[in-house]
Amino acid sequence: MAQIQRRKTYTATVGGVRVGSDAPIVVQSMTNTDTADIDGTIRQCMALARAGSELVRVTVNNDDAAKAVPYVVDGLEKLGVPVPIIGDFHYNGHILLKKYPRARERWPSTVSIPATVPSARRTTTTSAP
């Protein structure tokens, strides 16, 4: 098998999981539930984590999804599922985070703003407080 050369990149820590640089490659999954369906999203995040996903992305595309995020994170914590949750925003993340600051405050790891947002030249990751 040929030796694979990895590019030099920065290391980011996402909820305790190292990504990039010389960190091992991690498994990242994305739910296909409506994030506003809190119980369904919790169940799917838990199933993905148990199947080996080390990071789980959820869609945060509207007000109901943004309102649900803290409850999803709290539910996973109560169940003892330590998988970091990453918000996948759709053009309106800056608006939703201003309207629903609790969603931002309860994020265990990061907020991801896709590169399709005109103001972002690449995916931007910011640590939660």
Helices marked H in 62-116: 63-78, 93-99, 101-105
- Segment (H or E) for 35: none
Confidence (pTM):
0.74
**What's the confidence (pLDDT) of residue 118?**
42
Bigger pLDDT: 102 vs 11: 11
> Locate tokens 């080996």: which residue?
52
Judge whether 89 and 65 are in contact, CB under 8 Å.
Answer: no
Measured over all CA atoms, what is the biggest interatomic distance in the chain, rounded to whole angstroms?
A: 51
Tens-place pLDDT, residues 81-107: 999 998 887 777 777 777 877 776 666
pLDDT of residue 11: 87
Cβ neighbors of 96 (< 8 A, separation 6 or more) are: 60, 62, 63, 65, 66, 89, 103
* pLDDT tens by residue, 31-80: 999 999 999 999 999 999 999 999 999 998 899 998 999 899 999 999 99
* Token reading at 76: 């996973």
